[in-house]
Amino acid sequence: MRESGRRVGLILAELREMIKPGLETRQLDCYAEKRILELGGVPAFKGYNGYPASLCVSINEEIVHGIPSGRRLKEGDLVSLDFGVIYGGFYGDAAITVPVGEVSEEARRLIEVAERSFYQGLEYLKEGNHLSDISAAIQTEVEKAGFSVIRDFVGHGIGRELHEGPQIPNFGLPGHGPKLKKGMTLAIEPMITSGHYEVAILSDNWTAVTRDHSLAAHFEHSVAITESGVEILTANDKKWRP
Ligand code: MF3
Ligand code: CO
């Protein structure tokens, strides 16, 4: 899980550096795919339920599962990148949201709150806590900022499969669901909007958008509960060791 995770972390960090107005979203997908093959590993999303690319690129009101295309990024866009890898039989999955050039104050705040809510949730990732303690912490942080949490997509267990149990909603009351234990590996992924949480799916049958066209942001890491605490498996550890 560490080996797949650090590949995801490194490639997302490299993609972040590529973001600029004028870039076609398929150039990000091509780079991600080429890079993971180079590092040793397989893109996890390509072919998953028929998904046609290695990377999900979701712009502005697109929440998740945007399909890379000839569309070009433009100044002021908010772009979410979601990437998964299989290495040695284990999955890693993470997502970031990045501003394209100068973005609105609201867009900047949305990115910050998505990331902050993830770390608030992480505070509750401890043996003995209930799974929904994480959910409740994320929801509280997001709603405190005046934003909404998406209901139709959730975080998940991860390991030998991309999506394993348990589901991890980003909303709910604390004290419910399974008890957390050492050795669990989870993908925690708040998806939030500046408006209402209702979702629509575009005619490509993949791209999830906000029904009210409000902006969306997504932040995800694969994490583990270890003997010594929490480990973020998809962090970018900067120094690459083959
Ligand atoms: N990355 C999504 C998740 O976090 C899954 C995307 S699978 C795809 O669970 F096939 F839609 F790309
Ligand atoms: Co995920």
In the prediction, which pLDDT does 237 show?
81
Ligand 1 center to residue 45 CA distance, Å? Answer: 6
Give me the amino acid identity at 59: I
Residue nearest to atom 11 of ligand 1 (CA): 65
Ligand 1 atom having least distance to the Cα of 65: 11
Confidence bin at 242 (pLDDT 50/70/90): confident
> Tens digits of per-residue pLDDT, 115-167?
999 999 999 999 999 999 999 999 999 999 999 999 999 999 999 999 999 99
> Tens digits of per-residue pLDDT, 59-68?
999 999 999 9
> Tens digits of per-residue pLDDT, 74-92?
999 999 999 999 999 999 9
Residue nearest to atom 7 of ligand 1 (CA): 45
Q: What is the pTM of this model?
A: 0.98
> Tens digits of per-residue pLDDT, 163-197?
999 999 999 999 999 999 999 999 999 999 999 99
Confidence bin at 240 (pLDDT 50/70/90): confident
Residue nearest to atom 2 of ligand 1 (CA): 82
> Tens digits of per-residue pLDDT, 22-39?
999 999 999 999 999 999
**Fold of domain 2-232:** Creatine Amidinohydrolase (3.90.230)
Q: For 84-115, b where at least 16 C-beta lie within 10 A, e where not — what string?
A: bbbbeebbbbbbbbbbbeebeeebebbbebbb
Strand 55-59 relative to strand 78-87, pairing: antiparallel
In the prediction, which pLDDT does 239 show?
79
Residue for token pair 């791209």: 207
In the prediction, which pLDDT does 73 show?
99
Query: What are the structural domain ranges in the chain?
Result: 2-232
